[in-house]
Amino acid sequence: MKPKNRALALIQELEAELHTPRPVRIHWTGCPNSCGQPQVADIGLMGTKTRKDGQTLEAVDIYMGGKVGKEAALGSCVIKAVPCDELQPVLRDLLIQHFDAKPRPSTAGGITGD
């Protein structure tokens, strides 16, 4: 799957599954020059490669905490080399833990609160 299509599909899945009380800026880039500016996003995804079971897979390093504007700051890499096919639950958890996202009632099946 092309990176842009993968990004759009992933965001659509997350939006269908979660309600976020405020916008979350997610930047995704595969460019080694950081063209998509993932370090200044709430959640930034920088394309990389990883190995799993002897295979090379497309993956991302995840950055968080970036800001633009008057209080501009670069985010920090919080998780390295997450395979793209394992990214959805990782982003889901980050959105719930750090951005107060809540599962939508139709997708909450079996989830209990802590």
pLDDT digits (tens, 9 = 90+) for 49-85: 999 999 999 999 999 988 888 888 888 999 999 999 9
Q: Which 8-state DSSP code applies to residue 69?
A: S
Q: Specify the number of domains making up the chain.
A: 1
Q: pLDDT: is 107 or 27 the higher one? A: 27
At 89, which CATH number? 3.30.413.10
| In-domain check, residue 89 | yes
- Supply the pTM of this predicted model: 0.83
Cα-Cα-Cα-Cα dihedral of 93, 59, 51, 81, to 10°? Answer: -60
Residue-number span of the structural domain to which 18 is assigned: 3-102
